[in-house]
Amino acid sequence: MTTLEALAARLDRVEAELALHRLAHDYCAGADHHDRLRWEGVWALDAIWETSPHRVFIGLEAICAAVEQQWRTFPVMQHATANHTVTISGDAATGRSDVVVLAQLPDRHWVVGGGSYEDEYRRREGVWRMTRRRVMQPFDLMLMLGDGPAPFGGAVRVHADR
């Protein structure tokens, strides 16, 4: 392989990794901000979203209907995804990430949960999409004690010990 070919292959790999990480971010941002267009952009038309062993949504329309139901159940969500790793093989890839989610119920109580995602991705016509996301256990949501976050109107000064 010539130096130019090797450089092109490395660049393709870097661009693929960045695109796959962006999909993981867009998944969270689309869900958290109730942004259907961003959410749709994550998924392949024939994608599968397994939120539990007994809740499997197949196809873009079913996946979008499921997230819209989540938006009604949890008016406010905040996902924090970390440790996203990907393995790329040509136009296919797999990934895994950890997630913590805070969500507010319609009665304004908050729940917290977390778990891991296992993903499959595919590149078609130069665009990466998620073809499968499986939510791994544990992902139990637990009610937070107290009233959850309260409005805060002042600045906070934090002094570090020296």
Q: What is the pLDDT of residue 142?
A: 84
pLDDT digits (tens, 9 = 90+) for 99-154: 999 999 999 899 999 999 999 999 999 999 999 999 997 677 788 866 555 554 44
Q: What is the pLDDT of residue 147?
A: 54
pLDDT mean over 71-77: 94
pLDDT digits (tens, 9 = 90+) for 4-57: 999 999 999 999 999 999 999 999 999 999 999 999 999 999 999 999 889 999
The single-letter DSSP state of residue 120 is: E
Helix axis angle, 60-73 relative to 3-32, nearest 10°?
40
Tell me the C-alpha distance between 131 and 114, whole Å: 22
pLDDT above 80: residue 67: yes
pTM of structure: 0.84
Gap between the terminal Cα atoms of the chain: 55
Phi-psi region of 146 (alpha: psi -120 to 50; beta: other; left: phi over 0): left
Residue whose entry in the numeric block shows the structure tokens 């729940």: 111
Q: What is the pLDDT of residue 149?
A: 52
